[in-house]
Structures are given as structure tokens and as C-alpha cells.
Amino acid sequence: MSDETRILAGTLLLALVTVESGGFYLLKIARGKAPATPFQERFARAGHAHAGVLLVLALVVLLYVDATGMDGLWGWVARSGVPIAALLLPGGFFFCSMGRGRTEPNRFVVMLPAGAVMLALGLAATGVGLLTAG
């Protein structure tokens, strides 16, 4: 395992602990202990789900990137695209729905397409790297 993968994987595993706090927040919403509009509840669920799935996906992708031996710019894109998306997409869902009584996204909604682009770049670079390795 490369040093880059080891360090990033350790960081991602620690980041998964923060997803637990998101689950606690969702539980508070479900119990009526945290006020939220239907829009905010949907976006909190989406942010929480994306955070967990993308962090686990990022851990898997790291192993594949190491298997390809990719380095340089495309190695960086492959190794960091999904982890960056794991920040941007959930962050976009949470930040664009913040504020008492909000019923539509605020300007932080731009984080969502940015995260989608990083996810696509990271996955595409890893996929091409795997198909051309060897």
C-alpha cells in the first residue's frame, strides 16, 4: 500500500466518524427534536447517505488506484476525485439547506454539480487506469 493511500485511508476512516453525527442529527429530526422543513429533511437525508456511501467508495477506489500504479496528474485525479466528491456533495446538501424555515436551496447548491464532476473524474480516471494497467 502506498503512503498516499495509507494516509488518505486513515483520514477517510476518521471522517466516517463524522457521518455518525449526521445520523444523530437525522434521529433528532425524526423525533421532532430538531425543527426542519420537508425540504431540509430530504436534503439532510441525501447529505447523510452521500457522505457514507462516497467515503466507503473512496476507500475502495484507493486500493484500485494503487493496483494500477498510476501517478502524476491522473494518479492524483484518480486518488482524490472521490474523496473530494465525498466532501462537496454532502456539504452541498447540508449547506444549501441551512437556515431556519428554508424551503429551497441557497447559493451553496453550486457544490452539488462540482461534487458530481469530481466524482465522475475520479471514477473515470480510475476505470481507465484499471483498463490500461498491466
pLDDT in tens, 31-49: 888 888 999 899 988 999 9
pLDDT at residue 14, as a whole number: 92
Query: Is-contact 78 125, C-beta < 8 A?
Result: yes
pLDDT at residue 128, as a whole number: 95
C-alpha cell at 85: 466528491
* Cβ count near 93 (within 10 Å): 26
pLDDT at residue 24, as a whole number: 85
pLDDT at residue 75, as a whole number: 92
What does each C-alpha distance from 90 to 41, 54, 129 come to in angstroms?
13, 9, 27
Residues of the chain short of pLDDT 50, as ranges, are none
DSSP 1: -
pLDDT at residue 69, as a whole number: 86
C-alpha cell at 86: 465525498
